[in-house]
Amino acid sequence: MHNKTITQLAHGLRSGEFSSVELTQAYLNRIKRHQGLNTYITVCEDLALQVAYAADIRLANGNPELLTGIPIAQKDIFCTEGVKTTCGSKMLDNFIAPYNATVVEKFNQAGAVMLGKLNMDEFAMGSSNETSYYGAVRNPWDINAVPGGSSGGSAAALAARLAVGATGTDTGGSIRQPAALCGITGLKPTYGRVSRYGMIAYASSLDQGGPMTRSAEDAAIMLQVMAGFDEKDSTSVDLPVPDYRAGLNNSIAGLKIGLPKEFFGEGLDSDVAAALETAVNEYRKLGAEIKEISMPNLNLAIPAYYVIAPAECSANLARFDGVRYGYRCENPVDLSDLYTRSRGEGFGKEVKRRILMGTYALSAGYYDAYYIKAQKIRRLLSEDFKNALAQVDVVMGPVTPGTAFGIGEKIGNPIAMYLSDIYTIAINLAGVPAMSIPAGFVKGKPVGLQIIGNYFAEDRLLNIAHRYQQVTGWHLQPPKGFE
Amino acid sequence: MEWETVIGLEIHTQLATKSKIFSGASTAYGAAPNTQACAVDLGLPGVLPVLNEEAVHKAVIFGMAIEAEIAPYSVFARKNYFYPDLPKGYQISQMELPIVGPGHLDIEVDGVSKRIGITRAHLEEDAGKSLHEDFHGLTGIDLNRAGTPLLEIVSEPDMRSAKEAVAYMRKLHELVRYLDICDGNMQEGSFRCDANVSVRPKGQKEFGTRAEIKNINSFKFVEKAINHETGRQIELIENGGKVIQETRLYDSVKDETRSMRSKEEANDYRYFPDPDLLPVFISEDFKALVKAQLPELPQAKKHRFQDQYALDEDNAAMLTYSCQLADYFEAVLKESGCEARLCANWITGELSAALNKAGLEITGSPVSHERLAGLLARIGDNTISGKIAKQVFEEMWQGTATADEIIAAKGLKQITDSGAIELIIDRIIAENPGQVQQYRSGKDKVFAFFVGQVMKEMQGKANPGEVNKMLKAKLSR
């Protein structure tokens, strides 16, 4: 059962091959068996079985939706009413959300079964899932390697078949990079496509929720539920949501693919480059035209990101002050002590680093040199994408410079860690959608191919990814021990 | 040395919207603590602000009324600081691009008109309240007020005395209530003031160093606080000291200001555009629509009352202090058909006195404009005298009867029948030969004695004009 896609599971539930309760129980058993991967922070066993039971009734009554009774899991950044929502932090270890994020509400309405809450880097700050208060997540392809981050729990759980679909969030690569390192499919939608309400903010102008699955078709099904305007999120965009599955099989003959030369230069692992070349060739066989392009400002993305994201996070995380909810230090002697110790003890090292960087960047006398400058770079990067996407239909490139690195390998070196997002960050700054799909292996570890499209062209990306997955089998391969 | 005071005011007006500026929670005052604070107001993880259109509308109304530039594009910014009653650790406000740009307001002090510049007015959310009593050494937090929409109106340093500052503040208070954008309730904090005060030798161009006096919530205290602060600064400088830039608090009990924090201790608020909110675009069409819907403003109304109704300036000013009072006046005038001056005198006199005594606003008057018009109509057609009318008014204030009902029930109808009046006059003349003698020998003052006697006999119901005429005729014989 655990190797089936959402479409196959939906079919099985309708044909009576298995019930949602049986399916959910099977997944719960698997989660227990593989808890060493540390993918889940909270497993909602009772709740999941209750929802599965209700789903079976709905299936029997004949008014189910596609996801009714399908076991999925939420990244622990999404608020879930009555269920602990930690954001991977000690700060929220005691926080039971009193409301549902819009995305969670939509999955609930669809009748999806939430198995639990997935591990992540603390407040989504990290590229290896090692900053989580709940410990590192292990990559099912190599248990000594990281799964990537910040949606590392989501990616590892999917690769290990501990859920058939999961949510992720992507601020600088947090869906695509772990998807690549764990060999699964991840989609970061256009900024504004998916509501951020109830998604704990890291960097508000960059954060975007999206689906993580094992196939493009499943991603289309998940996105269908997640996407759409939300009056509770002023930055969500009021545009109609297309039928994402309708065009999956469209021909991609004549598709113009741009390969920015800046993506394939120094820093990219040669084996990864070779794997990507093979993948691009596959597209050529499908009738696509390949064109080399240039995006001259890509090298500015990381410095701009590490001003903007920390600046926003320094304000976003100010609410965690020990006053109303979350961690509070013991016996504070006065207000200042309450603040400094609650925050000092509640936040981890990387979170503090980014709050400090952001506070500095916004300080009087530095604002223009850092924040304003970074915003100008952001505009340049958007121009780069606009120009590129005027010449070609999609841009392709690597997701990460190499395959999954070892646990502990980069955690002591923030700059090295930040550079692992070098190919993903510019996309968030521009706000365009992008996918990561499995495109082969290097020394037994997965390689991801990144496909970047124009604003609100998620349907096109899914179509391009799906066509590739029709002619390749990378996405179907389970890691050893998780078959 | 002669000193000049320089004052600029920052006035926080609470906009009278039903819900908060960024959430759907109610803004009603006085609810049990934390019962009007939703997830957004509490600053829970994951929540997002959504701008209340009505708050924007009200800000634009204000901008149009002070003939200000309305920004076609304005931006919300985060003002970062930690305080327990500030749930998000930042206040959503406006910094670089406020919604209302430069405008002005004209004030009058001692008959002299002066134009006060308004630098800007921006939208922001209010914080909650810290409660330091009743918690045994702890502090309670009430977030009901958190997220209440405020329009902060910043003036130029154009005022030169506490008197001018109060005149400006009153004028602004009158205006926001006219525009119906703020209830103006100062006790509930709907209209509060920070005053920037400095002094300089008269004739000097450069400003002195200013001190900011925070959160003054009455006209009286603004005047006292500024006067005290001016005195303090002058004394300090004359004794060889230097004013430092700082924030001070006014203590109304001790009538003094004291230091809260100096500039060195001031926060770096690290303003930056709030990425959760889109910029606000105001179209020319929207501005035109708001302008067309603007009510007649106090100044214009006052001038119209003087011209159209031939009222003196005092009466016109009193009647136009609130829009509702002015409306009441015009309704009474129309319904009674009486002279404007009679209506004005009754409303600014009898009615206002009764309202003041009962602590009521015109909107809460027990005597409606219909009933007052009914009373004044009876003065106008000579059914009753002004004196009797006051008696009838008292009755009306207590109950619900109309003037006609009271006049009929109590037999207060004025006697204009000259035969009846004549009979009484004749009798009084006959009974008081001494006084008649005095009058006829030139003591005019005795006349009042006769009027009094006649009115007393007739229980005040005689038409005073008729009585005067007849008495004069009979006595001079």
What are the CB-based long-range contacts (under 8 Å, 24+) for B389-392?
B390/B350
The verdict on a CB contact (< 8 Å) between A311 and B87 is: no
Residue of chain A nearest B22, judged by CA positions: A232
The dihedrals phi and psi of A198, each to the nearest 5 degrees, come to 85, 0
pLDDT band at B416 (very low <50, low <70, confident <90, very high): low
Residues of B in contact with A205 (CB under 8 A): 275
> Do A319 and B87 lie within an 8 Å CB cutoff?
yes
Residue whose structure tokens are 């502090």: B139
Q: Is the pLDDT at A452 greater than 90, yes or no?
A: yes
Helices B53-65, B162-178: axis angle to 10 degrees equals 130
Measured between CA atoms, how close is A19 to chain B, in angstroms?
Answer: 34
Per-residue pLDDT averaged across B198-227, rounded? 94
* DSSP-based three-state secondary structure for B65: helix
Residues of chain A with Cβ-Cβ distance to B264 below 8 Å are none
pLDDT in tens, B6-52: 999 999 999 999 999 999 999 998 899 999 999 999 999 999 999 99
Mean pLDDT calculated for residue range A243-247: 97
* Burial (CB count within 10 angstroms: exposed 0-12, middle 13-18, buried 19+), residue B342: middle
Q: Which amino acid is present at A103? A: V
pLDDT digits (tens, 9 = 90+) for B316-365: 999 998 888 999 999 999 999 999 999 999 999 999 999 999 988 898 99
Cα separation of B188 and B192, whole Å? Answer: 9
Nearest CB to B48; choose among A233, A323, A359: A233
Contact B43 A324 (CB under 8 A): yes
- Determine, for residues A367 and B78 on separate chains, whether the beta-carbon distance falls below 8 Å: no
Active site residues of A: 75, 150, 174
CA distances from B274 to A202, A311, B82, B96, B125 (A): 13, 11, 17, 12, 13
- Tell me if A314 and B268 make a contact (CB, 8 A cut-off): no
Nearest CB to A200 within list B46, B50, B141: B46
- Read off the pLDDT of residues A45-97 as tens digits, 9 standing for 90 and up: 999 999 999 999 999 998 899 999 999 999 999 999 999 999 999 999 999 99
Using a CB–CB cutoff of 8 Å, tell me whether A371 touches chain B: yes
Q: Give the residue on A whose Cα is nearest the Cα of B42.
A: A324
Percent of chain A with pLDDT strictly greater than 90: 98
- Which residue on chain A is closest to B23 by alpha carbon? A232
CA-wise closest residue to A242 among A460, A447, A88: A460
Per DSSP, what are the bridge partners of residue B19? B26
Among candidates B48, B80, B141 on the partner chain, residue whose Cβ is nearest the Cβ of A196: B48
Q: Which of A76, A169, A152, A200 is nearest to A404 (CA)?
A: A152
CA torsion angle A61 A62 A66 A69 (round to 10):
20
Mean pLDDT of B62-87: 96
Q: What is the predicted pLDDT for the residue at B427?
A: 86
Q: What angle do CA A346, A348, A351 make, to 5 degrees?
A: 110
CA distance A252 to chain B (A): 37
B275·A204 Cβ contact <8 A: yes
Q: Is the pLDDT of residue B309 over 90?
A: yes
> E strands along A126-280, which residues?
165-169, 185-188, 209-213, 256-260
User: Could you give the ipTM of this predicted complex?
Assistant: 0.96
Best B130, B270, B271 member to test A by mutation, with max A CBs in 10 Å, is B270
Q: Which residue of B has its CA nearest to A334?
A: B138
The H or E element that residue B20 is part of is: none
Residue B448 is predicted with a pLDDT of 86
Q: Which residues on adjacent β-strands are paired with residue A437? A: A449
Residues of B in contact with A196 (CB under 8 A): 46, 48
User: Distance (Å, rounded) from C-alpha A148 to C-alpha A62?
Assistant: 40
In the predicted structure, residue B265 carries a pLDDT above the cut 80: no
Of the residues A75, A83, A197, A360, the best mutation for testing chain B's interface (the one with the most B CB atoms within 10 Å of its CB) is A197
Neighbours of B166 (CB within 10 A): 23
> Is B270 in contact with A314 (Cβ distance < 8 A)?
yes
The torsion region of residue B124 among left (phi > 0), alpha (psi -120 to 50) and beta comes to beta
CB nearest to A235's CB, from B42, B272, B276: B276
Architecture of domain A1-483: Alpha-Beta Complex (3.90)
Measure the CA–CA gap between B60 and B67, rounded to whole angstroms. Answer: 10
Out of A87, A311, A318, name the one closest to residue B89 (CB).
A318
CB atoms within 10 A of CB A473: 8
The alpha carbon of residue A77 is apart from the nearest alpha carbon of chain B, in Å, by: 8
pLDDT at A404: 98
Q: What sign does the dihedral B185-B187-B190-B193 (CA atoms) show? A: positive
The residue to which tokens 């930056």 are assigned? B272
For every residue of B308-366, DSSP letters joined together read: HH---HHHHHHHTSSHHHHHHHHHHHHHH---HHHHHHHIIIIIHHHHHHHT--GGG-S
B48 contacts on A by Cβ (under 8 Å): 196-197, 232-235
pLDDT band at B88 (very low <50, low <70, confident <90, very high): very high
The answer to which of B141-145, B355-359, B443-447 has the lowest mean pLDDT is B443-447
Nearest to B278 among A201, A234, A318 (CB): A234
Asked if A97 lies within 8 A of B80 by C-beta distance, the reply is no
Q: Which domains does chain B have, with CATH numbers?
A: 10-189+262-286 (no CATH), 296-410 (no CATH), 418-475 (1.10.10.410)
CA distance B210 to B197: 5
Contacts of A367 in chain B (CB under 8 A): 270, 272
User: B84, A335: Cβ pair inside 8 Å?
Assistant: yes
- The pLDDT score that the predictor gives to residue A420 is 87
Among A199, A312, A339, whose Cβ lies nearest the Cβ of B46? A199
> How do residues A110-155 score in pLDDT, each as one tens digit?
999 999 999 999 999 999 999 999 999 999 999 999 999 999 999 9
* pLDDT-based confidence at residue B104 (cuts at 50, 70, 90): very high
Find out whether A161 and A480 touch, Cβ atoms under 8 Å.
no
User: How far is the C-alpha of B329 from the C-alpha of B321, rounded, in Å?
Assistant: 12
Average pLDDT over residues B64-76: 96
What is the share, in percent, of chain B residues with pLDDT greater than 70?
98
A198 contacts chain B (CB < 8 A): yes
User: Rounded to an integer, what distance in angstroms lies between the CA atom of residue B342 and that of residue B166?
Assistant: 31
The pLDDT assigned to B263 comes to 67
Q: What percent of chain A has pLDDT over 70?
A: 100
* Weakest mean pLDDT among A420-434, B110-124, B457-471: B457-471
Residue A363: its chain B contacts at CB < 8 A?
268, 270
In tens, the pLDDT along B276-298 reads: 999 999 999 999 999 999 999 98
Distance CA A361, CA A352 (A): 14
Please check whether residue A78 touches B, CB under 8 A: yes
Give A-chain residues touching B92 at CB under 8 angstroms: none
A106 shares contact with chain B (CB less than 8 Å): no
Assign residue A172 a region: left if phi > 0, alpha if psi is -120 to 50, beta otherwise? alpha
**Cβ contact (<8 Å) for A98 and B89?**
no
Share the mean pLDDT of chain A: 97
